[in-house]
Amino acid sequence: MICVCIGRGRHKHVLAEHRYLAEQGIPLVELRVDYIRSRLSLKRLLTDRPCPCIITCRRQQDGGQWADTEQARQMVLRTAIVEGADYVDLEEDIAKDIPRYGKTKRIISYHNFRETPDDLYEIHQRMCGLDPDVIKIAALTHRPSDNVRMLRLMQESKVPTIGICMGEIGTPTRILAGRFGAPFTYASLQHERSMAPGQVSYKELRDIYRYDSISPETEVYGVIADPVAQNTSPLLHNVAFGHLGLNKVFVPFRVPRDDLAEFIRECPELGIRGLTVGIPHKDDILKHLSKADGVVRNIGAANTVLFDGREVVGYNTDFRGFQDALDTIFHEDEQGRPLVGRVALVLGAGGICKAIAHSLKRRDADVVLSSRTHERALVLADKFRCRTVQWYERTKLDPDILVNATPVGMHPNVDESPLDAKYMRRDMIVVDTVYNPEQTLLVKQAREVGCRVVTGVEVLVREAALQIEHFTGQTAPLDLMRTALKRAIGAARWQD
């Protein structure tokens, strides 16, 4: 069950949002009455309420807005019970002073904005003695291993418990709460109006993560990256899992570089069956694999991990995803070996270039790398036996295929392009790996010149589709994923 938090300064706005959420089918809301700026009327908020609610009046030390005295606050909580609120939230230090009455259920809460404490179990034990119907523990986290402790606590507790690791690292505890036995999870009304660090909007929880269908049997997949907030994998993979009717959920795990080893060790405990690997872990993950296919070894990077019994198996779909995307523009008479001997200029020498260089070389293209930092191009050229050209001389090459593997042109720098249109010709193939926006300046100019173009969206979707095949053994719904990605990119730009 999803509980949406409402925190507004005026009663009429609280009432309007409460009504709207009930119409949306939300079964429970939390009314944060500490946000009300005028004289508080609980009667007005509770009479004829459109769906059940929790009354919470949070003091400032616990992240709230309450500006009056503590005595007045406790009076609000007592009144909420007398008025028959469905739930009332009582912090553990005041819970014993406010007795149970009527049908109102007691949520006993604990907040820690510094850390997830080591003595989580002792705190929980203490709270069990305060006559709770539900225990809520919300603590800031700095390490992914805190999520494991919090989820384990929820799973093992006899009293229904909601354990929240606050902050971006802790987001999995919000998405996976139901899988580990929590009676509900807290969500915000809108992404930009979250009331606690790392809170997810109810629409994301409901529509992307399909929260209400997550059960203890749900298989967990996810992306590990740092940062992870803008990562598109949760969207693409959950769209595919939903379409295929699979009891699987895909979660964003923000894993700092130093926490990778511990995270991989703890994956089985979290029920994780597979991972997408993002920056900065694509190279380091190799140390943690017990098996890897030849492509991973050749490229020196993996972007997909499967946990198969005791084996940790690595794959690289960046390589084939790029190839599949490129193949979409070849005519029938070019099938076979369309790249043999053709000059392919690859701009950039970062992580994605390894898979691109490997892919183009496997098809016998004459690959030339050009990077702003020439030394990086030289290292890759040595590994993949390519040529290089200085960045300032890239315009002199006149290639058959041009690949932009730099972030140039990416939002918000949409007026930039890594190669001016005057260096393009009609029979050139242009691939841009930048996917936000899809129609980069490079893509637009290449189309104007008449080049055949592959966009970053196509590359990204193809890579994800291959990962989904590894995770499910089924064919990914490419069109659906492409549409979802384009819509998300469009919405993100519109919000800015």
Ligand X SMILES: NC(=O)c1ccc[n+]([C@@H]2O[C@H](COP(=O)([O-])OP(=O)(O)OC[C@H]3O[C@@H](n4cnc5c(N)ncnc54)[C@H](OP(=O)(O)O)[C@@H]3O)[C@@H](O)[C@H]2O)c1
Q: Which residues are catalytic?
A: 282
Q: Any contact of residue 456 with ligand X (CB under 6 A)? A: yes
Interatomic CA distance for residues 21 and 343, integer angstroms: 57
CB of 82 to ligand X, least distance (A): 58
**Beta carbon of residue 230, minimum distance to ligand X (angstroms, whole number):** 11
Short-list 96, 106, 109, 30, CA closest to 62? 109
CB of 88 to ligand X, least distance (A): 48
Among 372, 383, 444, 486, binds ligand X (CB under 6 A): 372
Q: Among the candidate windows 21-29, 121-129, 429-437, 478-486, which touches ligand X by CB under 6 A?
A: 429-437
The two tokens of residue 112 are 């820690």
- 351 forms part of the interface with ligand X (CB under 6 A): yes
Minimum Å gap between C-beta 249 and ligand X is 22
Query: Does 320 participate in binding ligand X (rule CB under 6 A)?
Result: no
CB of 203 to ligand X, least distance (A): 25
Measured from each CB, the residue nearest to ligand X is 350
From the number of C-beta atoms within 10 Å of its C-beta (0-12, 13-18, 19+), residue 381 rates as buried
Say whether residue 346 binds ligand X (CB under 6 A).
no
The only residue of 41, 213, 247, 373 in contact with ligand X, by rule CB under 6 A? 373
- Using the rule CB under 6 A, which residue among 95, 326, 352, 431 binds ligand X? 352
Should residue 313 be labelled a site residue for ligand X when binding is judged by CB under 6 A?
Answer: no
Using CB under 6 A as the binding rule, the residues of this chain from 389 to 408 that contact ligand X are: 405-408
Strand-by-strand arrangement of the 304-308 sheet: 248-254, 219-225, 272-277, 304-308, 311-315, 291-292
Q: Does 160 bind ligand X (CB under 6 A)?
A: no
Of residues 59 and 383, the one with the C-beta less far from ligand X: 383
* Interaction between residue 353 and ligand X (CB under 6 A): yes
State the number of CA atoms in the 13 A half-sphere of 494 facing the CB. Answer: 6
Identity of the residue, 189 or 461, whose beta carbon is nearer to ligand X in the bound complex? 461
Q: Which residues contact 4 (CB under 8 A, 6 or more apart)?
A: 21, 26, 28, 29, 30, 186, 187, 188, 189, 202
The contact set with ligand X (CB under 6 A) reads: 279, 348-353, 371-373, 376, 405-408, 410, 433-435, 456, 459-460, 463
